[in-house]
Structure 1
């Protein structure tokens, strides 16, 4: 009897340790997220399930075109693409991105632009028109959804403070047909 009790106790300890490790990984390293809405189409679809890498910006810096998850002002978490980094001057003219005065291609929008029957995917603007500043403020990023005509992003909510960024979302795991690692 004592042997069974000792064995049961060892199993309980192992299970407890496994739960603590799993919770630590979930809380500090990686977390699942469900895409809500169509603001990132065609890259991401409504109800896609992704993994958010919470360590990505603990050990590195955000890069232009990273897809990130952040706490939005309304208390929701948003998923968008980084367009501007701190100090960048951003401008859109004739559906073309200009960063610090240089034309920058956005290959992830090519498919969506071909679908458009008329007009531009992204309306013309510069930062001073949307955030009352000529550059992205220090400690912030300027984000936009890939579905530019139907996205609530930095053009509406302003630049995103880096401390509000949860992490980089770069793995779609469900549905299986959408499985993809974002670059």
Structure 2
């Protein structure tokens, strides 16, 4: 029982270090710290086998991964989730691990957020990028979204593309003036995304987390992980 107390204390300190030093916010530090957590498992098993018996060693072999999984999953202030389809491809790809932080009060254009939807979907939450913030004027013309008369997309490397006043909207034209707590969100794969163009602006109270980065499935076990940072800067040209 004394060994169990030391094991629990060790993982509690490990968990506390993750939070205090904010190691999750840096992808490489987070991966290294996960390997340290995995390294605690064989150390515990070896000590248990030497001091006690094989049965207890097997017990700690099962307990270690369970504690590590629980501690990481319940870490306050963070969310770890898988990819949710093709709406943000290729930024977020199938099999990726997305690391997110609880959303702050002030959100800016270009942040990737997860939010609750008030409509029935196959997912518990949806993840999209903020294009419009309170006070913005939104124009949707033939499926293309303009924020204060500028369009932002991955295809244009998030550089502003001005709306042509001579352009005629043939199939779709929608206008929004975002209220105090309203945000207009789009998937990065704007040609294949169910977003605010379909269900309108979302409210601040629907937003849960701001995505920091995604660790791609093809990351190597050793060395720097293959990571894409998910926040982009949308710069509005000065008039």
Q: Same fold (TM over 0.5)?
A: yes
Q: Distance in 2 between matches of 1:142 and 1:85?
A: 7
Q: Which residue of 1 aligns with 2:156?
A: 110
Q: What is the SS of the residue equivalent to 1:40?
A: coil
Q: Which residue of 1 aligns with 2:132?
A: 84
Give the 5 Å matches for 1:21-40: 21=16, 23=71, 26-40=74-88
Q: Distance in 2 between matches of 1:26 and 1:108?
A: 33
2:119 counterpart of 1:66: no
Q: Which residue of 1 aligns with 2:9?
A: 14
Q: Which residue of 2 aligns with 1:41?
A: 89
Per the TM alignment, residue 85 of structure 1 is displaced from its structure 2 partner at its CA by 0.7
Per the TM alignment, residue 27 of structure 1 is displaced from its structure 2 partner at its CA by 4.6
**Are the aligned partners of 2:128 and 2:195 in contact in 1 as well (CA < 8 Å)?**
yes
Q: Distance in 2 between matches of 1:150 and 1:85?
A: 22
Q: What is the SS of the residue equivalent to 1:64?
A: coil
2:215 counterpart of 1:173: yes
Q: Which of 125, 136, 156 is the aligned partner of 2:198?
A: 156
Per the TM alignment, residue 136 of structure 1 is displaced from its structure 2 partner at its CA by 1.7
Q: Distance in 2 between matches of 1:160 and 1:95?
A: 18
Q: Which of 85, 104, 108 is the aligned partner of 1:57?
A: 104
Normalized per residue, which structure has more strand?
1
CA RMSD of aligned residues (A): 3.0
Q: What is the SS of the residue equivalent to 2:104?
A: helix
**Are the aligned partners of 2:73 and 2:80 in contact in 1 as well (CA < 8 Å)?**
no
Name which one, 1 or 2, has greater alpha-carbon Rg.
2
Per the TM alignment, residue 137 of structure 1 is displaced from its structure 2 partner at its CA by 2.5
Per the TM alignment, residue 162 of structure 1 is displaced from its structure 2 partner at its CA by 1.1
Q: What is the SS of the residue equivalent to 2:177?
A: coil
Which fold has the larger relative contact order, with Cα–Cα distance below 8 Å and residues 6 or more apart in sequence?
1
Question: Could you tell me the TM-score, scaled by structure 2's length?
Answer: 0.54
Question: Could you tell me the TM-score, scaled by structure 1's length?
Answer: 0.69
**Are the aligned partners of 2:140 and 2:197 in contact in 1 as well (CA < 8 Å)?**
no
Q: How many residues align?
A: 156
